[in-house]
Amino acid sequence: MSRTGVAEPRGVLSIRSFRRLWIALSLSSLGDWLSILALTALASAITTGSGYQAQSYAVGGVLIVKMLPAVVLGPLAGAFADRFDRRMTMVIADVLRFALFVSIPLVGRLDWLFIATFLIECVTLFWIPAKEATVPNLVPKDRLERANQLSLLTTYGSAPVAAALFSVLALVSRAFFEQSQQADLALYINAVTFLISAITIFTLRDIPSRGAQHVSVPSVLKQIGEGWRFAGSTPLVRGLIIGIVGAFAAGGAVIGIAKVYVEALKGGDAAYGAVFGAVFLGMAFGMFLGPRMLRDLSRRRLFGLAIVGAGLTLVLIALIPNLVVVVFLTTLLGACAGVGWVTGYTLIGLEVEDDLRGRTFAFLQSLVRVVLLLVLAVVPLVAGVIGAHRLDIAEVTYRFDGTNAVLLIAAIVAMIFGVIAYRQMDDRRGIPLARDVVAALRGVPYAPETDSGPVTGRGMLIAFEGGEGAGKTTQARLAAIWLRDHGYDVVTTQEPGATKIGMRLRAILLDKESAGLSSRAETLLYAADRADHVATVIEPALQRGAIIITDRYIDSTLAYQGYGRNLPADEIAQINEWATGGLVADLTILLDVPSDVGLGRFASPADRIESEPQEFHERVRRGFRALAEAEPQRYLVVDARLAQADITRQIQDRVREILPDPIPMGTEDVTSTFPAITDA
Ligand SMILES: Nc1ncnc2c1ncn2[C@@H]1O[C@H](COP(=O)(O)OP(=O)(O)O)[C@@H](O)[C@H]1O
Ligand SMILES: Cc1cn([C@H]2C[C@H](O)[C@@H](COP(=O)(O)OP(=O)(O)O)O2)c(=O)[nH]c1=O
């Protein structure tokens, strides 16, 4: 995997047509965030004087109406969007959004506000797939990832800008208008962003009207149903999902209640904008600083901690009714959310296999939408039912409303889900969290000594496979030296013959005197050697948290005895699964070499197997390649005819991707002061 594509951040914006689309996207995102603030503020203004409950319902209603179309009509619009001219779809959608936004303050009624908001969201459903499908047409493939990152950054980056803008507009309009009209200015400006976006896209003549690729959008509910089936299978994904749902449920409650809460704290629209902006400011801090400050803490632990932290902050927000304190705490809340988001995102990227990653993201997106919708629907109901209360304690009147209750419930939900996620994902069981955190803040990873060495969780098994003379022994040794240099506990081993019993089996297997050994007996003897190897060498080292590098493992049997000796592969696989207790290598590095080249590296055939005819070794090579093709995510296939150093580099690049997290950064400085024993 090349990392060079990421090195030039401004690369994609130098593409003129993409730059224009990006401007349009930025404006639309800005408008979208602005509209959330302006519409909720307007709904609240229209219902001022109709009582606390009516106000909660009105604000909640706006948010529900905004979410509903995506959940209910999303797939339908996705299917339709592909049939129309993309550029015109985007232009018309933007013009319609402009007109609808202008109409809201002009009509100035709550029912029209709801209807128009609903229609705007329906129109947006056509705009988004058209935009998504257009990006690959404007950006070359190698810069597509960069372009998508930029789009994402813009979508969320425009939120704090919108919040700031909203606050300023609120202050300005307070000077000129009466209260019920204060949100109007924001809505007009918002409408104009869509008009500019429409004009920008209209001038983009190089958008092809329709593309070859179909953007299919499966139904939200179907995605969720399917998602559960695979998500339940690993504790990591399970933990991530529980944590993210908890975080979004709490986040939804905060969004749904923010306007009413700020009002209860005697804050106006400007304060509302400030609270909203504080969340995003905090998020930016959290995303940027959190992982740097806690670099040495396990990401899995950090994720759960961040959510529990958000819950605790929310408790304070619910109980301290002071606007300044609330803005400050909201920044902290955002920071926790930012840390959680970035660690969760990285964990999915690093620890979820390639073919599951796309589905995990899609599943999460659908789930989050539904959760948000449910929460937004329930929040105003709960707040409304509880209503407004005053507690008179001595001389002090303490106000405790439905809003406080909702925030408190959200805080508890976040904490419970955070703890469950933490438990599911914890990769440092038995190590006290407090010590772990203190050590991480000091930059020294905490590793308690025990009888069997430091406990760092489950280790990792890397197998080197390939035919005779492929260079397995050479590369395995180099990889071990490299990893030890980086401070890892590494065990190098090989098959057959890594244990005392194994040595005796090896003698039987490779002795030319054993000519006539039946293929099945041979298979069982290799399996016996492997069973002993796993039980006495590999498993204990794995328990200790070491990285085990083995020269040959199960694949050798599948290739040599399965393909070479023509025995049924599934039966061999079963026998070996039993022998190893189902232990599979985390990564298998296949050094692929034509059999004549490999055998040519030795002066003469040394043992019984090497003496087999060339066809046998060619079948073995085909066997290895077939195994690697069947499970590409677990293999690295390297052309073993390359120079040793090139092979080493490819191996290091791949191994680096799967190293346990966090990489003990400090260790490099320590070990590099010792003279490393490297290969001549
Ligand atoms: N990339 C390479 N190019 C050429 N010769 C190599 C390469 N890698 C290893 N060799 C040589 O090939 C021989 C077999 O290497 P070895 O690592 O013992 O292979 P294996 O363990 O796969 O049988 C050794 O003499 C080694 O020096
Ligand atoms: C582990 C294993 C090895 N073998 C064969 C392959 C090798 O020819 C031999 C192991 O000998 P070895 O000298 O360790 O091979 P190399 O240096 O090529 O790694 O045993 C099998 O046939 N089945 C197996 O399961």
495 Cβ closer than 6 Å to some ligand 2 atom:
yes
Tell me how far apart the alpha carbons of residues 221 and 602 are, in angstroms, rounded to a whole number: 60
The pick from 549, 601, 679 for probing ligand 1's pocket by mutation, whose C-beta has the most ligand atoms within 8 angstroms, reads: 601
Query: Looking at ligand 1, which atom is closest to the CA of residue 642?
Result: 1
Helices 519-533, 500-510: inter-axial angle, 10-degree rounding: 160
Query: Looking at ligand 1, which atom is closest to the CA of residue 551?
Result: 21
The Å distance, Cα 374 to ligand 1 centre, comes to 62
496 Cβ closer than 6 Å to some ligand 2 atom:
yes
14-217 topology per CATH: Growth Hormone; Chain: A; (1.20.1250)
Residue-level pLDDT at 208: 67
Binning pLDDT at 50, 70 and 90, where does residue 454 land?
A: very low
Binning pLDDT at 50, 70 and 90, where does residue 81 land?
A: low
174-196 mean pLDDT: 83
CB 87 within 8 A of CB 204: yes
The Å distance, Cα 90 to ligand 1 centre, comes to 59
pTM tops 0.80, yes or no = no
610 Cβ closer than 6 Å to some ligand 2 atom:
yes
Q: Which residue has the tokens 């299919």?
A: 216
Most confident among 205-219, 285-299, 531-545 (mean pLDDT): 531-545
Count of residues for the chain?
680
Strand residues in 128-216 grouped as ranges (E)? none
What are the residue boundaries of the structural domains of the chain, listed by start? 14-217, 220-446, 460-671
2-9 mean pLDDT: 41
Residue-level pLDDT at 116: 96
Tell me how far apart the alpha carbons of residues 319 and 535 are, in angstroms, rounded to a whole number: 56
What are the tens digits of pLDDT across the range 224-236? Answer: 666 666 666 567 7
Measured in whole angstroms, the distance separating CA 198 from the mean position of its chain's CA atoms is 33
Q: Which helix (H) or strand (E) holds 579?
A: helix 569-580
The Å distance, Cα 610 to ligand 2 centre, comes to 8
According to the 3-state scheme, what is the secondary structure of 97-136?
A: HHHHHHHHHHHCCHHHHHHHHHHHHHHHHHHHHHHHHHHH
**Burial letters 61-96, b for 16+ CB under 10 A, else e:** bbbbbbbbbbbebbbebbeebbeeebbebbbbbbbb
Ligand nearest to the CA of 554: 2
Q: Residue of the nearest CA to atom 7 in ligand 2?
A: 609
Residue-level pLDDT at 535: 94
- Compute CA distances 127 → 365, 402, 529, 551, whole Å: 18, 37, 62, 55
Residue-level pLDDT at 354: 56
What are the tens digits of pLDDT across the range 468-491? Answer: 999 999 999 999 988 887 778 899
CB 138 within 8 A of CB 21: yes
The Å distance, Cα 496 to ligand 2 centre, comes to 6
Residue-level pLDDT at 67: 83
Fold match, 14-217 / 220-446: yes
562 DSSP 8-state letter: I
Residue 16, helix vs strand vs coil: helix
CB 662 within 8 A of CB 294: no
What are the tens digits of pLDDT across the range 252-295? Answer: 888 888 888 888 888 888 898 898 889 888 988 888 888 778 77
Q: Where are the alpha helices (DSSP H) in 389-489?
A: 402-425, 433-442, 472-485
Residue 667 has pLDDT above 80, yes or no: no
What are the tens digits of pLDDT across the range 293-329? Answer: 877 788 888 999 999 999 999 999 999 988 999 999 9
Task: Name which of 148, 163, 211 is nearest 21 in CA terms.
Answer: 148
Better pLDDT: 38 or 141? 38
Architecture of domain 220-446: Up-down Bundle (1.20)
Binning pLDDT at 50, 70 and 90, where does residue 148 land?
A: confident
Q: What is the mean pLDDT of the chain?
A: 83
Residue-level pLDDT at 420: 92
474 Cβ closer than 6 Å to some ligand 1 atom:
yes
Provide φ and ψ at 321, rounded to 5°. -85, 65
Residue-level pLDDT at 5: 38
Helices 354-386, 220-231: inter-axial angle, 10-degree rounding: 120
Lowest mean pLDDT among 326-340, 541-555, 654-668: 654-668
472 Cβ closer than 6 Å to some ligand 1 atom:
yes
Residue 665 has pLDDT above 60, yes or no: no
Tell me how far apart the alpha carbons of residues 503 and 138 are, in angstroms, rounded to a whole number: 62
Residue 130 has pLDDT above 70, yes or no: yes
Residue-level pLDDT at 10: 53
Residue-level pLDDT at 679: 41
What are the tens digits of pLDDT across the range 99-115? Answer: 999 999 999 899 999 99
What are the tens digits of pLDDT across the range 573-614? Answer: 999 999 999 999 999 999 999 999 998 888 776 788 888 899
478 Cβ closer than 6 Å to some ligand 1 atom:
no
Better pLDDT: 177 or 521? 521
Percent of the chain at pLDDT > 90 equals 35
Query: Looking at ligand 1, which atom is closest to the CA of residue 644?
Result: 1
Q: Residue of the nearest CA to atom 18 in ligand 2?
A: 468
The Å distance, Cα 464 to ligand 1 centre, comes to 13
The pick from 464, 473, 474, 596 for probing ligand 1's pocket by mutation, whose C-beta has the most ligand atoms within 8 angstroms, reads: 474
23-41 mean pLDDT: 89
Task: Name which of 444, 344, 427, 428 is nearest 665 in CA terms.
Answer: 444
Residue 494, helix vs strand vs coil: strand
CATH of domain 460-671: 3.40.50.300
Count Cβ atoms below 10 Å from residue 19 Cβ, excluding itself: 14
Binning pLDDT at 50, 70 and 90, where does residue 625 land?
A: very high
Provide φ and ψ at 393, rounded to 5°. -110, 115
Residue 533 has pLDDT above 50, yes or no: yes
Q: What is the DSSP string of 362-385?
A: HHHHHHHHHHHHHHHHHHHHHHHH
ipTM: 0.96
Residue-level pLDDT at 254: 86
